[in-house]
Structure 1
Amino acid sequence: MKIVIIPSGFKECLSSEGVAKAMNNGIQRFDPNVETMVIPMIDGGEGFAHTIIKLKKGELIYREVIGPIGEKVRSHFGIFQENGKKTAVIEMAAVAGLTLIPRNKRNPLKTTTFGVGQLIKSALDLGVDDILIGCGDSGTSDGGAGMAEALGVRFLDKYHQALNIGGGGDLHSIENINISGIDPRLSKVKIDVACNWYNILCGPRGVARVFAPQKGANPEEAEQLARNLEYYAQLILQQMEVDVRTTPGGGASGGLGAGLMAFTGATLHPRFDIIMQYIQLEEHIKNADLVLTAEGCLDYQTPNGKIPAEVARIAGNLGVPVIAITGTIGEGASINYTNGIHAYTSIIQSPTSLEIAMKDASRLIADSAEAAVRQIRIGYQMAKRKYKREII
């Protein structure tokens, strides 16, 4: 039996590498003769830079920058050389991610992407030709305004005084956008952004209404952010002639996708499409008997570009069945049965607290992977017995 293991990480718990290792441990514990291929998957969020740089045999560069709550953090980006070009890989989660914000300080009205702009400047200082930015697992909702400030954009109030945008809560104070001081080197590099294509900046399903509550906003604050981002998008359209309001991917990372598009000329991509240029999944899946994937929570949003659904799409085209192991099974999870996932199971098999489940996640994931493969083995044995009876 050959099994390909392609999980995402469990947010704020285990990286994709940690999840993959646990799944593989469970399988090998049951039968060390099972052939496994382990491919920790990335979606632009945590682990994005590490994984790409490891695959490309590049180098991680460390910098001290401003984190999401305005305090200095040690962050990183990667550099690799290929086909005569130097490419930087920036992971927004490593500089403005939710995990960098203490739970008692989570408020997207006040968190900033300023550090993302600082990392872009650091990459430019190293003379890169291309920049690949992963948008995922953010703790911000400032529309990329903080990032733009770090790159030289000035946001002015009604008195033509420069504002210091501290988060999405300040966007309504902007009257004018001055881009005369933006770093001129941006026009000489190609910037690609891996983002969730289904995330848009504004509207009923705009990023603030959907994701701000997960970042610490209460319902009133989420609506305030939605109004501010709507105003911000209109200002960008009027003064820069760039329409980011409903651009696919523009809502990624609290609107960082829109900011990158408007201020750096970046091209937004469905995250899986561009990541597949670096990781060739088809080659690994086509000869497999089974694909095991994983996600922290499987629900109705999973088919909207999340890793298990994208893995299932590729496996389905190759006729390979898929089982998903998930931390929790959320609302509307059954929709995944019609999107290529043949079965799913939760690692939580008895009443427990979230804190305990997260602490014991590696063991629980290993147990679930082992149980899944044991059930597959039963199916093999049943098929074998049926074949013998038919021969007789």
Structure 2
Amino acid sequence: MIRGRTALRKGWQEGHVIVAPAEFAGSLSAVQVAAHLTAGLRRARPDIPVLPIPVADGGDGTVDAMVAAGFSRMQTNVSGPVGDSVVASFAMRAETAVVELAEASGLRRLRGRPDAASALYSTSTGTGELIRTAVAGGARRIVLGLGGSACTDGGAGLLTALGARLLDAHGHPLPPGGAALRRLAHIDTRGLLRVPLVVASAVDNPLLGRRGAAQVYAPFKGAGPREVDALEAGLARFAEITRRELGADEADRRGAGAGGGVGFAALAFLDATIRPGIEIILEELDFGAVVAGARVVVTGEGALDEQSLYGRAPIGVARAAWKAEVPVVAVSQRCEVDRDLLRRFGVEAAFALTDMEPDPRVCASQAGSLLEQLAVGIADAHLGRRLIRNY
């Protein structure tokens, strides 16, 4: 898998520490979190080897995590979520490309805060352009991370960028965005570029309904009640025409609503498989081999909450470490889930920056130095002996 990681671990003795956090959203990237934790651990215990492995679950930071692990960063100009040109990256190694929806079509690409207009018209076109560029560069397998999207277009823009045509009753191409799908009459897939695709997602929502892409996630993208209704209607029309013309009935599949419905397009048109994003990323990082013989794994993310228990990075890391019988410590900016419950999911101990500094604004602005202090405490508490499981 990761050639550099394989070479590194060959010279290591039993008892190394792995630092495998996800990003602290709005504060530090996964790479930065790993660097600060590593610095604190090394300061406290310079005798113990520490291996930083930033991780992600398919959302923001996925490309950065893969680049940190030895993939090459490739950059290109693509369409942003509202049509303006942006410079976006994907990660590539050999014939595998890792494409992150948030890179081209994410909320962070909007100029200003999301609003009703951006909710209706944002598109996944740029993500399709990234995939096309990766294929042109030699990729024969695409890992597509979903998360952090600005769009609720069901993947219509992605399909258009890959050569499909979505037409109204007069044979005219639909404009971008989920609301326009209400006028969809015909889908022409004769020019569609097809490539083996694995979707990495942290959510399992269906396309439609109260747990669907529009009703659950569109409000976070600037949609009010009217916009949610319009987007729901557009996605429902998209699913209906897809079923009628392609015979593909994927709207109720787990993960079809991921990435504003991009999961649906991947399933129905590209014959994709959808898996928990953190599992895919850990496989690409060869985590199962690297964790063997470790003393402890330190993982975490910005907020440990109930959602963390269902598909997000820290629990995925904990499950992988469990298989290797390596205990796990989690860190976060704030911890909103009972520590005893975390133990049931394989997390031996959990530490939050708010335990040290109760002001969340200070936690965000001084997250790096606080993480280093926290790492020193973790080293004092957990690296003098091997942790003993009590669950």
- The 1:279–1:214 alpha-carbon spacing in structure 2 relative to 1, beyond 3 Å, is same
Q: Say which SS state the counterpart of residue 138 (structure 1) adopts.
A: coil
- Deviation at 1:114? 0.7
- The 1:147–1:373 alpha-carbon spacing in structure 2 relative to 1, beyond 3 Å, is same
Partner of 2:189: 179
Question: TM-score, structure 2 length as denominator?
Answer: 0.85
Partner of 2:79: 66
- The 1:209–1:363 alpha-carbon spacing in structure 2 relative to 1, beyond 3 Å, is farther
Task: Please identify, of 229-238 and 297-306, the stretch whose mean Cα deviation from structure 2 is larger.
Answer: 229-238
Superposed CA deviations along residues 332-353 of structure 1, whole A, max 9, x for unmatched, are 7764332111222221233425
**Code of the aligned partner of 1:94:** E
1:69-148 aligned within 5 A: 69-81=82-94, 86-106=95-115, 107-148=118-159
Equivalent residue in structure 1 for 2:351, among 345, 369, 383: 345
Partner of 2:296: 290
Distance in 2 of aligned mates of 1:176 and 1:255: 18
Q: Say which SS state the counterpart of residue 200 (structure 2) adopts.
A: strand
Partner of 2:272: 266
1:225-236 aligned within 5 A: 225-236=231-242
- Deviation at 1:322? 1.5
Equivalent residue in structure 2 for 1:325, among 318, 324, 331: 331
Partner of 1:389: none
For the Cα contact (< 8 Å) 1:251–1:257, is it kept in 2?
A: yes
For the Cα contact (< 8 Å) 1:136–1:195, is it kept in 2?
A: yes
For the Cα contact (< 8 Å) 2:295–2:386, is it kept in 1?
A: no
**Code of the aligned partner of 1:92:** L
Q: Say which SS state the counterpart of residue 141 (structure 1) adopts.
A: coil
- Deviation at 1:92? 1.8
Distance in 1 of aligned mates of 2:373 and 2:297: 17
Distance in 1 of aligned mates of 2:163 and 2:291: 45
For the Cα contact (< 8 Å) 1:113–1:142, is it kept in 2?
A: yes
Q: Say which SS state the counterpart of residue 217 (structure 1) adopts.
A: coil
Superposed CA deviations along residues 25-51 of structure 1, whole A, max 9, x for unmatched, are 222232322332211112222333344
Equivalent residue in structure 1 for 2:164, among 153, 156, 173: 153
**Code of the aligned partner of 2:367:** A
- Deviation at 1:11? 2.1
Q: Say which SS state the counterpart of residue 109 (structure 1) adopts.
A: helix
For the Cα contact (< 8 Å) 1:95–1:116, is it kept in 2?
A: yes
- The 1:198–1:32 alpha-carbon spacing in structure 2 relative to 1, beyond 3 Å, is same
Distance in 2 of aligned mates of 1:116 and 1:307: 22
Equivalent residue in structure 1 for 2:33, among 5, 12, 19: 19
Could you list the runs of 5+ residues in structure 1 that have no partner in the other structure?
A: 384-392
- Deviation at 1:53? 4.8
Q: Does 1:38 align with 2:52?
A: yes
1:208-223 aligned within 5 A: 208-218=214-224, 221-223=227-229
Distance in 2 of aligned mates of 1:77 and 1:200: 26
Partner of 1:386: none
- Deviation at 1:141? 1.8
Residues matched between the structures, number: 371
Partner of 1:387: none
For the Cα contact (< 8 Å) 2:305–2:337, is it kept in 1?
A: yes
Q: Say which SS state the counterpart of residue 32 (structure 1) adopts.
A: coil
Distance in 2 of aligned mates of 1:277 and 1:66: 30
Distance in 2 of aligned mates of 1:365 and 1:331: 20
Q: Does 1:6 align with 2:20?
A: yes
- The 1:198–1:238 alpha-carbon spacing in structure 2 relative to 1, beyond 3 Å, is same
Q: Say which SS state the counterpart of residue 60 (structure 1) adopts.
A: strand
**Code of the aligned partner of 1:99:** R
Question: TM-score, structure 1 length as denominator?
Answer: 0.84
Superposed CA deviations along residues 294-342 of structure 1, whole A, max 9, x for unmatched, are 1111111112111111111122233322221112223677643321112
Q: Say which SS state the counterpart of residue 119 (structure 2) adopts.
A: coil
Superposed CA deviations along residues 21-78 of structure 1, whole A, max 9, x for unmatched, are 111122223232233221111222233334435545x543321111112211011223
Percent sequence identity is 31
Q: Say which SS state the counterpart of residue 97 (structure 2) adopts.
A: strand
Task: Please identify, of 249-258 and 324-333, the stretch whose mean Cα deviation from structure 2 is larger.
Answer: 324-333
- Deviation at 1:227? 4.1
- Deviation at 1:197? 5.5
- The 1:363–1:211 alpha-carbon spacing in structure 2 relative to 1, beyond 3 Å, is farther
For the Cα contact (< 8 Å) 1:200–1:246, is it kept in 2?
A: yes
For the Cα contact (< 8 Å) 2:77–2:87, is it kept in 1?
A: yes
- The 1:274–1:174 alpha-carbon spacing in structure 2 relative to 1, beyond 3 Å, is same
Task: Please identify, of 294-303 and 131-140, the stretch whose mean Cα deviation from structure 2 is larger.
Answer: 131-140
For the Cα contact (< 8 Å) 2:357–2:363, is it kept in 1?
A: no
Superposed CA deviations along residues 121-154 of structure 1, whole A, max 9, x for unmatched, are 2223334322222223322221111111222222
Partner of 1:168: 178
**Code of the aligned partner of 1:174:** L
Could you list the runs of 5+ residues in structure 2 that have no partner in the other structure?
A: 1-14
Superposed CA deviations along residues 246-279 of structure 1, whole A, max 9, x for unmatched, are 2122222111121122233333333233333322
- The 1:173–1:363 alpha-carbon spacing in structure 2 relative to 1, beyond 3 Å, is farther
Distance in 1 of aligned mates of 2:340 and 2:109: 33
